[in-house]
Structure 1
Amino acid sequence: MAWQWALLFHHLWPIIFMEIFEQDALSKSNSPPKIWLRYVDDTFTVWQHGLETLEEFVNHLNSLRPSIKFTYEKETNGSIPFLDVLVSRKNNSLETKVYRKPTHTGQYLNFASNHPKTTKTGIIHTLTNRAEIICSDEKSIAVEHNHIKKELIANGYPANTIKQHMKSNKTLKPTETDKPAGTLVIPYVQGLSEKIRHLGNKYGLKTAFRSKSTIKSIVTKVKPATEKLQTHNCVYQIPCECGHVYIGETGRALSTRIKEHKNNCKKGETLKSRLAEHTWENSHKILWEDSTPLIQEPDKIKRKIK
């Protein structure tokens, strides 16, 4: 069991380090903030000592570890974004709404695209669930729901479909008895693949779809293996068509690690791979050709931290 504990420690090490770092930083500060809330390496802070001392506090944080440098953003007109949440001060209380970057285009998977309907309705559930988690009052939720409807209609989603799946926005978590007897991966052919999935359900088989031919695969020439995929000792990223990105690290050639990820996704090894779990649960396509190394670091511990 020693190797399992070692693996667990490597995953927890960055979190443990930041926990120790912030305790040390706040205890040594002459003017600590009233509130300090952290998610990984992003902090939400309430500063009660005046703007003239804020820069001094940031300099204090940056003086403790040469490799760690903090930047900060101040509220504007009583509001500040934190991750995908817009936090606003209203009558001595905080209100929260969904935050979208100025570069947000409102573009989602078009309803006419050749994808399973469950993938498209999953987008409705995801956006609705995010609104209900983030928005702090019913009025904000209603405004966000209207915004979601307008954007989805602009992407070809029927109003009735949006209304139906917004209303039934409940996520059921699988239980032990829900585990499939096996997995079946088939090319997605609209109308036919759904019937095969329905047949597989009768025999306890989990069915996942994959796109065999896409416009990109038809019009794009096959590229030879690039040098970047031969990179060793790196932190890398693998993007998904939904916009999420998987971040990992390896000491071997990146091409070798990607091959392992592909095998896990193909076999449905959801317990071994978070990437496979994401692919199978959402029927999403992983953009393997866009995988890329982010940084190189020969030291394994430092690579885990990064």
Structure 2
Amino acid sequence: MAAKDRLSRIKQANVATLTRHAKSICHPDAISSELDHLKETFTSLNSYPAYLVSKTIRKTLKNSYPRPKPAPSPIRITIPYHGPVTPQIARLIKNKANIDVTFSSGKSIKTHLQANGRGTSCTSPNPRGGINQIPCNCGHQYIGETLRPLNTILKEHRTSVNKLDQKSAISEHILKNENHNII
């Protein structure tokens, strides 16, 4: 794709995005003044071609029906974001394996250091988040991941086991196997 054509598409996308945004948040009586403001901003202040702006606004308003959201995939994963290649990888995973991908930010220096010089890993008496492993006396074990405080998760599992309410995989296991206990 030629650079000029690519630039034209970027300009059209900018106009279309702000037109849809104006339509979604403006009162119907104020939409025409907002669109006039967009035209003025794009043409006078940003040197967009007037015909391109007008054509894109008309086309966007004509086709501004809400796009149906795709059904979520049965599997979701989170991968760290590492620059422009990451969305391409996510698109491949979605198209080839029907797996939804979300991004996480990488570890920063802030996540490893505190002002007092101590690291943040497991120094808290009640750490938030992480992987937890709860063994049963039969040898099976429950492994879970959470962003919530660990003692809250353990308390919820104990309560679920005591009530035998099947709100957790652990209580389901104990209910099916009455002589089993979590360690």
Query: TM (normalized to structure 1)?
Result: 0.23
Query: TM (normalized to structure 2)?
Result: 0.35
Larger Rg: 2
